[in-house]
């Protein structure tokens, strides 16, 4: 029980840190220009994973939908929505597109 609690706290901490790093509207995450495609894939996979784990936590969604956010965030949400729509063999708890509405 204690080990599970510690693991949960650790995972929550890592998720929180990654949200701050990858989806901070005040500071764009980008390692270098030649790594932009890898960075975008990382952001897409992380956002999709967060939706799959907890579809009701919409912090990242708010950042990506903000009209004042950078185009990179808008691109990420379009790709995530596309992945949700086109996913095959999805697990029962994975999000459906209606969570975006």
Average pLDDT over residues 47-58: 86
Q: Residue ranges per domain, the chain?
A: 2-99
CA angle in degrees (0–180, nearest 5) for 57-36-41 = 45
Q: How distant, in Å, are the alpha carbons of 4, 8, 9, 15, 30 from that of 41?
A: 30, 25, 26, 17, 12
Single pTM value for the model:
0.83
Q: How many residues does the chain have?
A: 101
pLDDT at 23: 95
CA 56 – CA 42 distance, rounded (Å):
21
More confident of the two residues 95 and 9: 9
pLDDT on residue 13 = 95
Residue 100's pLDDT band (cuts 50, 70, 90): low
């Amino acid at each position: 029980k204690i080990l599970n609690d510690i693991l949960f706290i650790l995972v929550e901490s890592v998720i929180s840190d990654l949200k701050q790093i990858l989806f901070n509207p005040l500071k764009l995450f980008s390692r270098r220009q030649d790594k932009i495609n890898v960075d975008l894939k990382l952001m897409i996979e992380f956002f999709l994973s967060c939706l799959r784990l907890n579809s009701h936590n919409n912090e990242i969604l708010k950042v990506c939908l903000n009209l004042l956010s950078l185009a990179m965030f808008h691109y990420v949400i379009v790709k995530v929505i596309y992945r949700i729509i086109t996913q095959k063999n999805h697990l029962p708890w994975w999000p459906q597109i209606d969570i975006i509405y």
